[in-house]
Structure 1
C-alpha cells in the first residue's frame, strides 16, 4: 500500500527505553568531557546543552488535515507520539490533527488559498486527481498511504436477509437494481461530487452498466433515482437510517434501509450502536473499490525542510505495529494481504461474501470524470444546445481510424446522447458558411425535452437521426464567429430555470468568414449577454490539428465557460462531461 521504510536517521524516536537510557549515558559523558575541558559555560551558551529541558521545548509543529473518518485514529496516534517523545533529527514531532472534509480542502487548494495545514490525508486519491484534472496549481506530494477500506453496500439485517445475505452475492448493477427497482428498498449514498465513496461506487456501477445492452440509459435512470436520497457527506448518510430499533421508523419513507458506505463506516456504526441496530455488509462480487488514504505534503504552505522530514517521520511511525493495530481498532485495513476477521465481522461482513478479494482496479481519472459529468447532468437535468462544424475540413480522415472527423464526431455525440435522461433538453445546430441564406448556421433540431413525443418518435429519436445525417458541406468554410454569437443569444434567451444550461460548440478550424463580426466584438457581445444569475457557459471544443485552442478558450471564458482541445474526435464525449463538471463547480462556488 505504498508504505515506506525510513533510514535510521528518521527512526530515532524515543519509544524504546533502552534507547533513552543510551542517550542519557551519552549526554552525561558529554557533560563530563566538556566540564573537564573547561567549556561547559560556552557549551550551554552555544545550545549544545540544555539542563532540565526535553525535546518538547522546541518541537517541530505540524497541522495535519485528515478525512473525518480517519481523524480520530490519527489524533490518538499523534498523542502517543507526543507521549513517547517521537523525534525527527533530535526534535520532538508535535502533530495537531484537524478533521476536514476532503472536498472542502480540494476547493481551498483549487482556489489557491492556504488550507491551514502542512500535511493532508484525504480518504482517496480521487481528490488529488481532481486537483490535476481541473488544472490546479496546488503543489502536493504524495509520499505514501496510511490505510484502506473497501466500499460496499450496508443494509439493515431484515432487508439483507430478504436478499439472501450472506450466501447470495451480487454485482454492483444487481445491488443497485434491487434497491431501486421499487420503493421496497430505500438506498442512500453521499453526493458523488463531495464524496469519494459515492463517486467510486457510482463509477463501478457505470462500468458495470456499460457492459450490458441499454446499460447507459439504465445507469442514468439509477443515478436519477439515487439522487433523490443523497446526503452531503459520508457522515450524514449514516444519519438517514432509522433512529431506533423498535420498528417505528422502518416505514418512514425518509429513512434509508441500505447505504453505499465504506467497510470502516459500517464498522464504526456497528461498534457504536446497540446490537439490534447493526448493519449487514455486502461486498459486490465484481469488485469493491477502496478508499486508500494518501499521505500528502502541501508544499505551497511554505513547508520547511524540518517539517517535511518530521511529516515523513510521523508517517513512518504510523506503520509501526502498535499504530497499525490502533488503525485496525478504528475499522481500517492496514494490509493488502491480511484481513482481520474481527474487523469484517464488526462491519457486518460474513462469508461467503468476497470480503478478502483484492480491491477492484482503480478507476482511471477519465472514467471518474465521465461519471461525475453524467451525475451532474442527471441530478440537475440539463438544457444543452450542441453546435457542430460542418465545414469541408470535417471530411478529413482521422489518422489510424479509417473514418472522417465528422464520422467520429457523430459517433461520439451518439454516445453522449445515451447519458442524458428524458428530462434533459438537447438541441442541434450545424454551421459552415451561408448554410441558410446569408446565415452561416441552421437549426436542425430545436432544443427540447428528450422525452417529448411528436408524431411517432421522441426528441431523442429525432436527435439520434439528425446526428446520423450530419455531413460536411462541400467547399464550406468555417463561419465560427457569427454562429457563436447567434447560438449564444438563443441559449441565453431560452434559459431554463433549475437546469444546467450550456452551449457546446465543436469546430475543427478558425473563423473563415471575412464578413463576420470581429473576435473582439464577439467577446464584447458575449460578455454583455452573460448573466451570473442565469449562467450559460459556452463550452468550445477545438477538434483536430487545425483548430485553435487558445482562441476557443478566450471566446468561451467571456461567458464563464471553457475551451478545450482534442486531437481525436472520439474524445469529445469525455471532454464535454469534464467541461460540464468544471462549469457546474464554478457555478456552485459562485
Structure 2
C-alpha cells in the first residue's frame, strides 16, 4: 500500500527521458491521417536524398563510445544525427556506436582490465554523468594520461535530497532558508528523518551527494562530517543506487516514502513521483546549503589507454566537436541537462574524490583478506626481507576489526605439490582466531626459506580462485601478495597469461575480489602492478612502518 492505495510495484529506471513531453492537442482524425501521409512521404524522400548524398552504404567505420545510462539515449540519437551528416575522417565514412555502461562499471574497467564480455567493446571515448568518475580513474600513475586535457562538457545535474513534501514542511525546510548538511545529519541523528543513500561506489547520485555532505568548504574532506554521514546511513538504509532504494521500499511491508531523505539527482525526483504515483504527497528536491559540487556530464576521448589508434581517436574527437554544436547542446538540454556552473564544477579535486571514497570504504566495510607470502629465496632477496614481510602481515592483522576475516598462505618451490601451503584458515578474527594467526606468522618465521625460484604467478591465480569461492558479500575481498620478486621461473603461466586469466576471472564474479601486491626491496613493480590492476587492485611499495591497511582501504 502506498498512501492507502493498492498498487503493483514497477521497476524504476531513473535515467533521463530522451525528450520532454508536451501537452496533447485535439486533432480531427482526417487531419491526422493526411498529416501522417505527408510526413511518411517526406521521410522517404529525405532518406533517399541522404542515401544518395552520403554514398557510404554499409561502409562506415564506427568507434565505440561508452556512455552512462542517463546519457546513452540522448547520445545514441545524436550519433545517428551526426552520421546522417556524412562525416569523414581521412576520406573514410565514420560514425560512433553508443554502448550503455554505468559510470562505476566503466571506472573499474578502466582502472583494471576492460572485460569485453561484461562491458562490451573497449571504448574509444567515455561519456560519464559526473566528472568525479574521470577524477577517480585518472588518479593513478598508470591511468593519469588516459584522457585528453579538455573534456567536452555536456551539461550538469544537481545533487538533491528527495524528501516527501509533508516531511520537509514538518522539518521547516519549505519556504525559508534551506537546511545545511549539518542540519540534515542532526535530523537523522534525532530520528526525525531516515537517510536513504545510494552507494557512492556504484552510483553517481551517491558519489556526488557524499562529496557535498562531507566537504570542509575549502575543497577538502571533513572527517567528522564523514563519520556523521556514515552513522546516518548506518541508522537508515543504503542500496546500489536510488532506483534500487525506491524499489526495495515499495516492495517492503511498509512502502511509504515519507520520513525519508533519498540521495538523488534533480531530474530523478520527477521520475520517482511519476513512476510511484505520488500525487498526494510528492517528493520535493531539497538542496542543502553548501552543496556546490554538481554532477558535470562530460565526454572524453581515451587516447592514452593503449588500445586507441590515431584513426579511432580522430573519429571520437570529431564526434566530440559535434557534441559542442548548438544543435547537439539543444538535444542535451532536452534530456534534462542544465548549463554548467563553472565555479561549482571546479570546487573539488581528484585527490579529494579519492580521499572521500577511501574514508567511506573504511567506515562501511569489513575486510575478507588472504595474505599470500613469498618464502622462496628469490622472492625474499635471499632472506634479507623475509622478516619484514611477516612483520607487515602481523601489523596489518593487528589493525583489522574483529568482524573482519583473515587467512595466511606461504609459497615457494617445493612447499607442496602446488608450491603453496595454507598456514591459517580464512576465519573471523575472534580472540582465538587472532591468536592462531599470530602463532602461524611466528612459526613461519622460524621455518627455513624454500630454496630456488618463486612460483609467484601460479600462487596468485590459485589464491584468487580460492578467494572467489570464499568471497563475503558486503566486504572488501582482497588477496594481499607480499614479495621481493615479481617474476616466476617455476610455474608454467607467463605474466601475460596470468594477467589475462585474472582479468577474465575478475569480470565473471558477482562479488568482487581484488589483488593487492606489496613489493619489497627490488621487486618488479611493473609485473606486480599489472597483476594487481587486472583485478582492480593496487600495487603498494612496502611501507617502513610494516602496516598496509590504509593502502588496502584506499582501493575503494
TM-score in terms of structure 1 length: 0.53
Determine if contact 2:517/2:532 at 8 Å carries over to the other structure.
no
- Cα drift, residue 566 of structure 1: 1.4
Partner Cα distance (1:78, 1:536) in 2: 33
Partner Cα distance (1:423, 1:207) in 2: 29
Q: Let me know the Cα RMSD of the aligned residues.
A: 6.6
1:230-276 per-residue CA deviation (whole Å, 9 max, x = no partner) reads: 14x45444555769xxxxx9943798832111233336556887484
User: 1:572 maps to what in 2?
Assistant: 548
The 1:55–1:277 alpha-carbon spacing in structure 2 relative to 1, beyond 3 Å, is: same
Determine if contact 1:151/1:288 at 8 Å carries over to the other structure.
no
Partner Cα distance (1:160, 1:371) in 2: 30
Partner Cα distance (2:97, 2:512) in 1: 43
Q: Where does the alignment leave 5 or more consecutive residues of structure 1 unmatched? A: 1-51, 244-248, 339-355, 397-403, 432-440, 512-516, 582-590
User: 2:102 maps to what in 1?
Assistant: 101
User: 1:149 maps to what in 2?
Assistant: 157
Determine if contact 2:273/2:283 at 8 Å carries over to the other structure.
yes
- Cα drift, residue 316 of structure 1: 2.2
Counterpart check, 1:367 vs 2:355: yes
Determine if contact 2:249/2:255 at 8 Å carries over to the other structure.
no
| SS at 1:289 equivalent | coil
Q: Where does the alignment leave 5 or more consecutive residues of structure 2 unmatched? A: 1-47, 412-420
- Cα drift, residue 283 of structure 1: 2.6
**Match for 2:121 among 102, 115, 118?**
115
Partner Cα distance (1:497, 1:408) in 2: 23
Partner Cα distance (2:409, 2:203) in 1: 36
1:98-148 per-residue CA deviation (whole Å, 9 max, x = no partner) reads: 655334555777125753876542212354456567968997646422112
**Match for 2:319 among 294, 311, 320?**
311
Partner Cα distance (2:71, 2:358) in 1: 28
Partner Cα distance (2:213, 2:549) in 1: 19
Determine if contact 2:155/2:338 at 8 Å carries over to the other structure.
yes
| SS at 1:293 equivalent | strand
Partner Cα distance (1:253, 1:197) in 2: 21
Partner Cα distance (1:283, 1:336) in 2: 17
| SS at 1:423 equivalent | coil
1:482-523 per-residue CA deviation (whole Å, 9 max, x = no partner) reads: 9998xx99x969x8674555453545x469xxxxx9954999
Matches within 5 A, 1:376-387: 378=365, 381-385=366-370
Partner Cα distance (1:393, 1:206) in 2: 44
Counterpart check, 1:171 vs 2:181: yes
Counterpart check, 1:336 vs 2:341: yes
Aligned length, in residue pairs:
453
The one of the two structures with greater contact order (alpha-carbon pairs below 8 A, sep at least 6) is 2
User: 1:345 maps to what in 2?
Assistant: none
Determine if contact 1:88/1:313 at 8 Å carries over to the other structure.
no
Partner Cα distance (2:403, 2:292) in 1: 31
The 1:335–1:193 alpha-carbon spacing in structure 2 relative to 1, beyond 3 Å, is: closer
Matches within 5 A, 1:178-577: 178-179=187-188, 185-202=193-210, 211-212=222-223, 229-231=238-240, 233-237=241-245, 239=247, 251-252=254-255, 257-266=260-269, 269=272, 274=279, 276-283=281-288, 285=290, 287-297=291-301, 300=307, 307-308=315-316, 310-318=318-326, 323=329, 327-328=332-333, 330-336=335-341, 359-364=347-352, 366-367=354-355, 370=358, 374=362, 378=365, 381-385=366-370, 417=400, 423-426=403-406, 449=428, 452=430, 498-499=472-473, 502-506=478-482, 509=484, 520=491, 539=515, 541-549=517-525, 564-566=539-541, 568-569=543-544, 572-577=548-553
User: 1:69 maps to what in 2?
Assistant: 70
Counterpart check, 1:125 vs 2:131: yes
Partner Cα distance (2:455, 2:190) in 1: 48
Determine if contact 1:290/1:359 at 8 Å carries over to the other structure.
no
Determine if contact 1:69/1:265 at 8 Å carries over to the other structure.
no
The 1:98–1:382 alpha-carbon spacing in structure 2 relative to 1, beyond 3 Å, is: closer
Partner Cα distance (1:574, 1:268) in 2: 40
The 1:394–1:116 alpha-carbon spacing in structure 2 relative to 1, beyond 3 Å, is: closer
The 1:66–1:256 alpha-carbon spacing in structure 2 relative to 1, beyond 3 Å, is: farther
Partner Cα distance (2:535, 2:471) in 1: 18
The 1:554–1:75 alpha-carbon spacing in structure 2 relative to 1, beyond 3 Å, is: closer
1:441-490 per-residue CA deviation (whole Å, 9 max, x = no partner) reads: 999x997545x578xxxx99x99xx8xx99xx99x9999979998xx99x
Partner Cα distance (1:186, 1:54) in 2: 56
TM-score in terms of structure 2 length: 0.55
1:383-405 per-residue CA deviation (whole Å, 9 max, x = no partner) reads: 33557899996799xxxxxxx99
User: 2:7 maps to what in 1?
Assistant: none
User: 1:58 maps to what in 2?
Assistant: 54
Partner Cα distance (2:214, 2:425) in 1: 29
User: 1:26 maps to what in 2?
Assistant: none
- Cα drift, residue 58 of structure 1: 1.3
1:53-103 per-residue CA deviation (whole Å, 9 max, x = no partner) reads: 5698218976755433234555676788799x6978999998776655334
| SS at 1:294 equivalent | strand
The 1:234–1:57 alpha-carbon spacing in structure 2 relative to 1, beyond 3 Å, is: farther
Determine if contact 1:481/1:518 at 8 Å carries over to the other structure.
yes
The 1:309–1:88 alpha-carbon spacing in structure 2 relative to 1, beyond 3 Å, is: farther
Determine if contact 1:384/1:502 at 8 Å carries over to the other structure.
yes
User: 2:43 maps to what in 1?
Assistant: none
Determine if contact 2:166/2:281 at 8 Å carries over to the other structure.
no
- Max Rg structure: 1
Partner Cα distance (1:553, 1:360) in 2: 28
Partner Cα distance (1:537, 1:242) in 2: 32
The 1:168–1:366 alpha-carbon spacing in structure 2 relative to 1, beyond 3 Å, is: closer
